Structure 1
Amino acid sequence: MNPLPMNQSNSLSTLLFGLVITLLVAAGCNMEYKPKAKGSLDSILLVVDTTQHNASLVPAIREVFEQAIPHVPGYEPQYKMHIASFERESDLSVIENRTNVVIAAPLDEQTPTGSLVRSMLNESFEQNVRNGTSFAFPAKDVWARNQWVLVLTGVDTVAMKQAILEADTRLLEPLQTYELERWTRDIYEKGEQVELADSLMAHAGWSVRMQHDYVWNFDTTRFVQFRRPLIDNDRWIWGAWEELQDPGVITPSWIQAKRDSIMATYLKGSRPKSYITTETRRPVSTSFLDESEHLAFETLGTWTMVNDFMGGPFVHFTYYIPEQERVVFVEYGQFAPQIGKRRFVRQFRAMGRTFKVDTTLTTDSSK
C-alpha cells in the first residue's frame, strides 16, 4: 500500500493504494476462475445513490474523471462515466463484471451503496477514513480479471467532495497506469511482429514491440520509420539516435528542438516545403518515466504540418543509454481527422514503454 500525499489543508490528506475485500471476494480465490471484465477501457461505471448525491458527489466525480485530455486536437474526456444504481444485493451482478468501477458513498450512509462501501473496507481502513487520513481505495481484479475498482468514501459528502476535487488528476493516475498495462496485453494478444522488432534491434541496437500491421517503410543510418497507412487513420512510428556524453542537457526544450529538427528533415508533407513540427499553441508536456530501467522521458502533445492544414496527436519517448553514451528518440503519431484519438494515444503510450536495447553494444560499437 503506497500513500499519495495530498494537500495538507484537506482533512482527508492521504490517498491509499490498496483495498481489502472482506465480504465480496472469498479469501484465496484463484484468479483463473474469475471471468474477464467486460467493457471498454475508457468507460467507468459509477455506483452512487443518485437520490442523494446528484447535486454533490456526482458532479465532483465527473469533473475529475471526465476532464478533457489536454494532448489531443479536440475535446475528448479522460474517461466516460455511466451511472448505475445499487438498490439491492442482486444489482451487484451488474457491477461485478465491468472493467472500471467507482463506488462512492459516505462511510455511515444508510443506503445499499453505503453498506457496499463498508463491506469492502476492513476496520483499519475505516478508522483511517474516520481520522481523515484516507478517502480513496483503488484495487485490481476484485470480481473479475482485468478489472479496476475505486472506492471513494468519507465522513460526509462535503468532505468527500473537497477531497475529490483537491486530489484531481491524482485520482486518475492509478487507473491510467493500469490502463497502460491492459493496453499492452490487448495490443500484442491480437498480433505481434517479433521478427520485425528483431530486425530493428539488429539494425539500430534498440527496439520496441511491433503491433501486427506496421510496415517498415524507410531507414537511413540513424533514422527509421514504420507506418500503418489507412485512408482514415494513418499512424506511424519513427526512431532516431545519436551520441550524447552528457545527459544533463536533456530538458523539455532540448527534446522539442531535437524532435523538430529530425521531423523537418525526415517527416515531410506532400506540398512544397511542408513538414511536421510541434504545435506550440496547444499543451506540450514532458515527464520523467520513472518505471523505465533507463533514463527516460515521455512527451505528449500535438503536431502540425508547416505549409499545410494537417495535425494530430503524438507520443514521444527519449531514452538515454549511459553504457553506450547514446540517446534514442522514439515517436508515435497519428493523422485521423474523423476518428477519436484517445485510445490510440493510450496505445502509443503503452507501446513506447516496451523499449529495450542491445546490452552487448559498447560505446564504440553503438556509434
Structure 2
Amino acid sequence: MNKTRFLFLLISIVFFSCAKKKDNLQRKTTGKINIISVIIDDQLWNGEIGDSIRNKFASPVIGLPQEEPLFTINQYPVKLMEGFMTDSRTIIVVKKEDKNKFEIKKDQYASPQTVFHISGKSGAEILKIIEKNTPKIIQIIKETEITENQRIINQSLLNTNAISMDFHASFKVPSGYSYVIKKNKFIWLKKEIVSGNTSLLIYQVPIASIKKDSNLIANIIKMRDSVGELYIRGTELDTKMITEEGYAPYFSKIELDGKESYETKGTWVLKNDFMSGPFINYSIVDEEHNRILVLEGFCYSPSREERDLMHELESIIKSIKILK
C-alpha cells in the first residue's frame, strides 16, 4: 500500500513539474517585419513627444523612389500593456514618472524581443532621452529585423552550390528564387511576385576597378551600369539597366563578414523604357581573393510598397560568408 502511495505521489510530482515548466516557457514574438509597438498614453502621443517619435521612427526609408516609413508604428495606451501587443519583437514604452530613465530589456514578455523603457519627470526630459538614444534604438531594431528575416528565409532555402563553387562564398537564399543567368563569375537570381519581381546579382571585378582613385561612388556606378548593359535588358531594343541620373545614390562604408565593404542605395531605370525601382549594392573588398565581390538586390514593384521587399534582399545579402 505504501509503495502504491509513493508511486502515485512521485507521478504527481513529475506531472506538475512538467506542467509548471511548460507554463514558464516564454512566448514567441509575432508580427510582420519592421513593425514596432509604442506604449504611450494618448495625451503624450498626440503632442510633441508623439511628433518626435513619429519623425524619428517613421522617417522616410533611404534609397526608395517613393516615401515609405522606416518602421510601421502601432500605438497603444499604457493601460493596455497586456495581451497581444506584448508579443511584439520591438516595444517602446514611454511614461511620465518621478525619475529620468532609459532602459533596454531583452525578452521581457516574449522571445526574441527588445523592450525600450523611456521615462522622464517632464515632457522636456522625455524628449531629451528620445533624442539622445534614437540612433542606438534604431540600430538595435534594424539588427533585430534583419535577424528575423534571416530566420524566415532559413525555413526554405535554394540550392546555392553554384554560387559557392564560382565565388568561394555562400549566403542563404529563399527557395522562391530561381536562376535566370548562370555564367562564369556572374549569376542572376529572380523571384516572381504578384506585383512584379525581386532580383539578386552576384559577380566579381578586379579590386582596381573600384579602388583606382578616391571617387569610389562614381566607380561603383560605372561598374553596375556596365553590368546592366551586358546582362539586364528590357524587351525592346536599347533598353539597358542604368543608375537613375536624377537622384544621387546614398553611399556608406560598412563591414560585411569582417571585410571592408561599400553600401550604395539608389534607383535603377531601364533606359528608353518606363520600368524603374530601388537597388541596394554591396561591394566587398576581398583582398584574399584579389577581387571586389559584388552582391546587388533590386526590385520592380510599381503597385506595391517596396520597403519590405528591399529589406528581404538586404537580409539575404548580409548572410554572406566568404569561404577560405
* TM-score > 0.5 by shorter chain: yes
Asked whether the 8 Å contact 1:71–1:282 carries over to 2, the reply is no
Partner residue of 1:93 out of 52, 58, 83: 83
Q: Does 1:158 align with 2:138?
A: no
CA RMSD of aligned residues (A): 2.6
What is the match of residue 138 of structure 1? 104
- Alpha-carbon distance in structure 2 between the residues aligned to 1:269 and 1:320: 31
- Alpha-carbon distance in structure 2 between the residues aligned to 1:53 and 1:213: 40
Q: Does 1:244 align with 2:236?
A: no
Asked whether the 8 Å contact 2:38–2:74 carries over to 1, the reply is yes
Alignment of 1:35-74 (within 5 A): 35-74=27-66
What is the match of residue 11 of structure 2? none
Asked whether the 8 Å contact 1:316–1:331 carries over to 2, the reply is yes
What is the match of residue 311 of structure 2? 346
What is the match of residue 228 of structure 1? 191
Identify, as 1 or 2, the structure richer in helix: 2
Identify, as 1 or 2, the structure richer in strand: 2
Relative to 1, partners in 2 of residues 1:246 and 1:342: Cα closer, same or farther, differing over 3 Å? Answer: closer
SS at match of 1:203: helix
What is the match of residue 123 of structure 1? none
Matching residue's letter, 1:349? E
- Alpha-carbon distance in structure 2 between the residues aligned to 1:264 and 1:77: 32
- Alpha-carbon distance in structure 2 between the residues aligned to 1:52 and 1:285: 34
SS at match of 1:241: strand
Matching residue's letter, 1:177? E
1:70-115 residue CA offsets vs partner (Å, 9 max, x unmatched): 3112221111212211237xx433442223211012331xxxxxxx
Matched residue count: 302
1:160-204 residue CA offsets vs partner (Å, 9 max, x unmatched): 224434665554221111111111111222x112xx212221123
- Post-superposition offset of 1:42: 2.1
Relative to 1, partners in 2 of residues 1:169 and 1:269: Cα closer, same or farther, differing over 3 Å? Answer: farther
Asked whether the 8 Å contact 1:44–1:100 carries over to 2, the reply is yes
- Post-superposition offset of 1:53: 4.9
TM-score (norm 1): 0.75
1:36-61 residue CA offsets vs partner (Å, 9 max, x unmatched): 11222222221112235521211111
Partner residue of 1:174 out of 132, 140, 157: 140
Asked whether the 8 Å contact 1:247–1:320 carries over to 2, the reply is no
Identity of aligned residues (%): 17
What is the match of residue 287 of structure 1? 252
Relative to 1, partners in 2 of residues 1:285 and 1:221: Cα closer, same or farther, differing over 3 Å? Answer: same
- Alpha-carbon distance in structure 1 between the residues aligned to 2:301 and 2:198: 8
Alignment of 1:97-108 (within 5 A): 97-108=87-98
Gaps (5+ residues) in structure 2? Answer: 1-20
- Post-superposition offset of 1:300: 1.8
